[in-house]
Amino acid sequence: MSKKLLILVLSADFAPYDKMIDTARQTWDSIDVENTETVFYCGESKKEDTDKIIYLPIQDHLFNMGKKTLMALEWALQNKEFDYIARPHSSIYVDKKLLKEYVDELPEENIFAGIETDSQNGFRYCWGGVGFLFSRDVIEKLVANKDSLLLNFMEDESVSLLAKDLEIPFSNYNKACSIDKQPDGWQLISYCGNSKTFIEFSEIKELGHVYYRVKQDGKRDVDEFIMRELFKYLQ
């Protein structure tokens, strides 16, 4: 059964992050996939919402990101029809076709998927650096309890703690990897299978990831380069 997928991309509409919105729209999001829609969500702006970018009434800084994400999820409940929401960020390349095929095979309920790991603050949480997947029922629970969100943690930690309080289990339905520049090529670190070093991006086409984290510690020109290389070979 084909399910409805909404991709909500955690974004910011100011330099240098705004360029990643443009890059994503020119690369992975330029591919049409049935029952799949992408919306980029940013903080407050004088700009008007479009069908692709929304501006939420919240300032963009690190410890606002959890609240910003819950605001985006609430907006989605009020404005969109969906069965799942994928939440990448603006330095993640999304293989939309594989992601849609992937969610079509997932359970319909109780999906809060990321990469589960240990926080330096002493608890387990789902790391959002390589994106999340949420089923609709989980989003409804999170939004209904938004006032209980702790604001002194990063987005992924605060949302994970809220999920724990609501007895929403973490799951590992998240086929993701990171790509990092090396002196003599590239390294792909997989969170669901085999990692590999490579020279040409054509070498990683068959690995089957849906999220590719391309963040290079603020080097947005390298982020952009990786996205464009992935776009050449992953279609």
pLDDT, tens digit, 9 for 90 and up, residues 60-118: 887 889 999 999 999 999 999 999 999 999 999 999 999 999 999 999 999 999 888 99
Residue in this structure with the two tokens 């360029």, named with its chain if needed: 19
Residues contacting 134, CB < 8 A, separation 6+: 73, 84, 85, 86, 87, 111, 112, 113, 142
Q: Which residues of 118-156 are buried (b: 16+ CB within 10 A; e: fewer)?
A: eeeeeeebbbbbbbbbbbbebbebbbeeeeebeeebbbb
Domain 5-165 is found in CATH 3.40.605.10: no
CATH 3.90.550.50 maps onto the chain at 5-165
CA distance 207 to 124: 28
pLDDT number for residue 235 = 76
Q: Are 178 and 208 in contact (CB under 8 A)?
A: no
The total of other beta-carbon atoms located within 10 Å of residue 193's CB is: 11
pLDDT number for residue 173 = 74
State how beta strands 84-87 and 132-135 pair.
antiparallel
Q: Are 111 and 104 in contact (CB under 8 A)?
A: no
Cis upstream peptide for 57 (omega within 30°): no
Q: Which CA distances in Å does 201 have to 7, 96, 156, 229, 230?
A: 24, 18, 29, 7, 7
Q: Which CA distances in Å does 189 have to 28, 52, 230?
A: 20, 30, 15
Q: Are 128 and 156 in contact (CB under 8 A)?
A: yes
Extract the residue ranges of the chain whose pLDDT is less than 70.
Answer: 218
